[in-house]
Amino acid sequence: QAVLESTRRQQHLQIARVLAEQAATTVTAQPAWIAHHYTEAGGVEQAIPYWQQAGQRAVNRSAHAEAIAHFAQALTLLRTLPLTPARARQELTLQCSLGVQLATRGSATPEVERTYARALELCQQVGNTQALFPVLYGLSRLYKKRGQLRRARDLGEQLLVLAQRQGNAALL
């Protein structure tokens, strides 16, 4: 904290670059370290994919609270970037990942509903039909758990139509 902020940012950037470029095992084992250093350096665009990797790594270890924190950090940084189609696609991926993890706390919470509602909005915005099924499924489960059975059924019917259109036996 005794170092000037500009110097500290440069040091964080240098550390992040070294970790990302010269230590392949660090990228695989500790992407949160790289994400942290890029974040502290002000390298938002570079930090987001590492936060996403850190979240996925936490998911793989069933560390749900940690995954939620990493995905949320990536989303917070993403919101500082200009609105572009690429940003919307990246946000959709993060919202879907976050929704699944938030559901581990309770699939009928307002937080889960907000996350999936935003993901649904993004699916429609970017025209992503691949992500639409899990988003609708998450919302359907939420409404079923809340006892809002008409809404859950309506979403279930949409899910059935999607699965039939795709001809996907697993989804059916």
SS3 1: coil
pTM of the model: 0.87
Say how many Å lie between the first and final Cα of the chain, rounded.
56
Distances (CA, A) of 159 to 45, 77, 114, 129, 171: 34, 32, 19, 11, 8
Q: Which residue has the higher pLDDT, 59 or 14?
A: 59
DSSP state of 109: S
- pLDDT tens readout for residues 93-127: 999 999 999 999 988 999 999 999 999 999 999 98
Nearest to 100 by CA among 131, 146, 123, 144: 131
DSSP state of 81: S
Contact present, 93 and 132 (Cβ < 8 Å): no
DSSP state of 103: G
- pLDDT tens readout for residues 146-166: 999 999 999 999 999 999 998
Measured in whole angstroms, the distance separating CA 143 from the mean position of its chain's CA atoms is: 22
The burial of 155, by beta-carbon neighbours within 10 Å (0-12 exposed, 13-18 middle, 19 or more buried), is given as: buried
Cα–Cα distance for residue pair 4/81, rounded to 1 Å: 26
